[in-house]
Chains A and B, each alone.
Chain A
Amino acid sequence: MKKNIIVLFVSVCWGMLLVASCEHEMPRYASFTAYDFSKLDEDAGEWEPVLLAGPEQIMVDAPEDVNSATYQAELSSLKSAMASLSGGQKKAVEYWTNNPIVRWNEIALELAAKYNLIPGPNADGTYTLPNPATPEGPSPFPFAHPAYTSRALAYLSVAQFDGLISAWHYKYLYDRPAPYQTDNSIEPAYAKTTLPSYPSDGAVIAAVSRDILTAMFPLEKEYLKGRADEHLSSLIWAGANVESDITAGQHIGVEISKIALARAGNDGMKKAQCPKPVSDSIKLSAFTRFGWQWNNLEVPVRPVGLAPLFCNVRMWSVPNVADVRPVPPPAIGSPAFLTAAKELQDIQDNMTEEKRKIANWWSDGLGSYTPPGHWNKFAKDFIIKYKENPIRSARTLAYMNMAIMDAGISCWDAKYFYHYPRPIQAIPGFKTILGTPNFPSYTSGHSTFSAAAAVILSHVFPAEAAQCEKWALEAAESRIYGGIHYRFDAEVGITQGKAVAQYTFAKAKNDGAD
C-alpha cells in the first residue's frame, strides 16, 4: 500500500516537472541584438522626403567643435555614465539596439492591440463612440481598428523617415564623428560605424515616435514619455551619442512631428466616423443605385458602420480615390453571387483544421494589432534579416505603411460606395468561425491591405517577393474560410491593393534611395 501511494505521488510530481520543463518561450518583442548594418546610406540626406520640401526645412545649428571645452565636458560625462551602468541601464541599451525603428514600431503595434476594442452598447441599447476631445471615455479614444491603425503607422513611419533624411543631411554636412571615434578609450555597446553622430538618429526616432504616438494614443502620453526618456538616455549609456547630438536629434524629431501632425489634423480622419443621417444617405444611395444595402446585424444594431467616410481621408500617393475604385460586385442572387455563396456554405459545412488555422492565423481581429500591424511585423522581420540601418528601415516602413493606408482608403471607398451585404446577411442561416465586422463586405480589407504591403515589401526585399505574394493571397483566402467574405471580395481586393500600391511604388522608385 505504501508503495502505491509513493508511485502515485512520484508520478504526479514527475508530471508537474514535465509541465514546467515543456514551457515555451513567451517573447514580448522581437529577439534580436544590435547588428552590423548592411550599409550606411551615406547619401540618404539627398533622398526625396515625403512631407518636407527638403532636409533643411528643419534648421539645425552647427555643433561645437570636438576640441571645444563643451564637447569635451559632454564626452567625459558620457564616459562617467558608461563607467557606472546599472543592470537596468545595461538592459535598456541591449533592448533598444542600434535600430530602434523596430522597437518603436513594436510599441505602436502594442498600443494598436491595446486600443483595438470596439465600444459595446450602453444599457439603453445606444452606443457611445470614442471622442478625441474626451479620450478617457466612457469609450476610450481611440478605437484602433484597421483603418485607424493603418493611419497611425503611416504617420509614424513617414515622420521617422523624413526626420532621418534631415538628420542624415546634417550628419554629413557637419561631419561630427561618433564619441568612440573622437576618443578611442570609449567602447560602444553597438558596432562601430563611420556615421557622423550629430544630430543623433536615435534621438530623432525617440522624439518623433513619442510625439506621433502620443497624438494617436493620447491616453499613453506618460507611458510614451517614459519609453522615450529611457531610449534617449540609452544613447549615452551605449556610447553612441553625446548630449548635444541628442538635443539636435530631438529638435528634428519634434519639428517633423509638428509637420506630420499638422497634415494629420486636416486629413479628413476627424470626419470619417460620420453621423447617422449621413450614413443613412450613403446607404440609400447604394440601395438606389444597386438594389442592395449592407446592414449591421448586431444586437443592439450599431447605427453607423465603421468609418463610412474614411474614403475621404487624404491619400499619400493616389490623386483621386475614385481612380482606383474596383468594378461593381455581382448582383445579389446572380449566378456569380450564388456560386460564391455556395462555396462559403460548403466551406463552413466541411471545415478542416487547415482552413480553420488559416482563418485564425490571419484573423487579426478585435484586440489584435490588425492586418496593417501583421504586415509591419513581417517588415520588421525582414529589416532585421537584411540588417537594414535605421533610415533604410524607416523608408521600408514608410512606403509600406503609406501604401497600406492608401489601400485602406480605397477599400473603404468601395465598401461604402457598393455597400454590399456580408455573407451572414445575404445567406439565410449562415454561420461563421470569425466574427463579422461592422462594415460592408466588398472589397476585403485584409486582401487590399495585404496586396499593397506585398507590393512594397517585394520591391524592397526582392528575394522575399514570392513569400510576400503567397502571404497576401493566403490572407485574402483566410477571409473566405472565416465565412466573412465572398471569393470576389478577396480577389478584387487583391487586384485593388496592387493597383493602389503602384502609386506609392512609383514614388519609392524615384526617391533616390535605389
Chain B
Amino acid sequence: MKNFTRIVYSSIAFLSFIGVAKAQTPSDAIMMKQREACFALTYDKGSFDQYWEGTYLRKNEIIATVNRQVIMPMIAIGILDKLNFYVAVPYVKTESDEPNGGQLQGAKGFQDISLALKYEILNKELGKGKLAVLAAGGYATPITNYLSDYRPYSLGNGTDEWSLRGIVQYKLNMGLYARAMGGHLFRGQTKIERDYYYNNGSYYTRWMDVPSAWEYSAALGMWLLDSSLKLEATYYALNSTSGDDIRKYNAAQPTNKVNFDQVGFSAQYYIKPVKGLGVLAYYSQMLNGRNTGKYTTLGFGAMYQFQM
C-alpha cells in the first residue's frame, strides 16, 4: 500500500507534461506481494505561462497560461511476489486561462491506456540495508481519437509507446533510501489531420514521427512516523533522441524534440485506523527544457489496497 503510492506519484509526475503526456510505467523499487491489489485515484493540475521555443524560454499571450488537469485511475496487481502488473487510464483536460489572445478551445477526454510489468531481479541484504534491482517493461496506446497535432492543448502524443526501464535502490533499515532509474521510451508515429507539414523541410504525409526518448531519475526519501509517512525528493530528466524545434512564435507539433528536467517532492500518508487506505500529495517544477511548457504541477491522490 505505502509502496504503491510511490508508484502513483512517479506516474503522475511524468504524466502531466506537454509532449510526454503518457501514463508512465512504474519506475520505482517497490513490489507488491502475490494476490495483493491496489486501486488508486489521483488528480493533478499542471500549469505554465512560459514555454521553451527550442531552448528559448518565452511567454505567448495567445495561449497565456495553459492548464492541464489529469484524473487518473490506476490498478496494480501482484501477480507474483516478484512480478507486478499495472494498468492506468488518465482523463485529461486542457485549456487556457482567460484572458488570452487566441480564444482557442481546449481539449478533454481519455488519453492512453498504459500497461506495465515490473520484475524484481534482485533484493538482498547489504550492510545496514537492502539492495534492490528491478526491470520494467510497458506499453501505452491511445484509447480515444484525440488529436495529437493540437499543441499545446492536445491530450497526448497520439502514438504507441514501448518502454524499458532499469531501477536500482538502496534502502537503509532506518528508513532512508536512495534510488536511480534509467529508461528508454520507444515511440512510433502519430496520425495527424493534414497531409503536409514542415519539419526542417516538406513532409507529404499524414504521419509524424514522435521522437523516442531517454529518461532518468534520482530520488532520496525517508520513511517516518513508524513507517506511516513517507517523504521523497526526486529529480527527473527526459531527453528526446531526435526531433525539430518549435519555430519562432509558431505552434508546437508532435515531431518536436522535447527535453526537460524537473524536481519534485511528494508526501504520502498511510492512515492506520483505516486498513488499506492512504493519501498522497505531490508537487513538481520544471527547471530546464526544450520545446515544452515550463510546468508547475500539484496533485493529490487516494489509494486503497486489498487482498485478492
Chain A positions within 8 Å of B, measured between CB atoms, are 1, 4-5, 8-9, 11-12, 15-16, 19, 22-30, 106, 109-110, 113-114, 117-121, 297-300, 348, 351, 353, 356-357, 360-361, 363-364, 366-369, 373-374, 377, 424, 430-433, 435-436, 483
Contact = CB atoms under 8 A, between A and B. Distances in A.
Given A23-B209, A357-B193, 15 more contacts: A1-B83, A8-B83, A9-B135, A15-B160, A26-B205, A29-B202, A110-B198, A120-B248, A297-B103, A298-B62, A299-B100, A366-B250, A368-B197, A430-B103, A435-B251
Interface residues of B, number: 51
Given A26-B207, A28-B203, A366 B103 contact: no
A450 to B, nearest CB: 15
A148 B104 CA distance: 26
Contacts of A29: 202, 204
Interface in B19-72: 60-62, 64
A28 B149 CA distance: 19
Contacts of A8: 83, 117, 119, 135, 137
Contact of A368 (B193, B196, B249): B196
B160 A19 contact: yes
B120 to A, nearest CB: 9
A119 B250 CA distance: 9
Contact of A4 (B80, B202, B203): B80
The secondary-structure label for the interface of chain B is loop
A433 B104 contact: yes
Contacts of A121: 61
Contacts of A353: 145
Contact of B204 (A27, A356, A363, A483): A27
A367 to B, nearest CB: 5
Interface of B: 60-62, 64, 80, 82-83, 99-105, 117, 119, 121, 135, 137-139, 145, 147, 149-150, 160, 162, 164, 186-189, 192-198, 201-205, 207, 209, 247-251
B119 A28 contact: no
A1 to B, nearest CB: 6
B251 A110 contact: no
B149 A119 contact: no
B124 to A, nearest CB: 15
Contacts of A12: 137-139, 162, 164
A348 B204 CA distance: 29
4 smallest CB-CB distances across A and B, nearest first, come from A120-B249, A360-B193, A299-B101, A299-B61
Contacts of A19: 160, 162, 186-188
The secondary-structure label for the interface of chain A is loop
Contact of B194 (A114, A363, A366, A431): A363
Nearest to B138: A12
A31 to B, nearest CB: 9
Contacts of A9: 135, 137
A366 B104 CA distance: 15
Contacts of B251: 366-367, 435
6 contacts: A12-B162, A299-B99, A348-B105, A361-B195, A435-B102, A436-B102
Given A12-B162, A25-B205, A368-B196, A433 B105 contact: yes
Given A29-B202, A361-B194, A431-B105, A15 B139 contact: yes
Nearest to A15: B162
A144 to B, nearest CB: 11
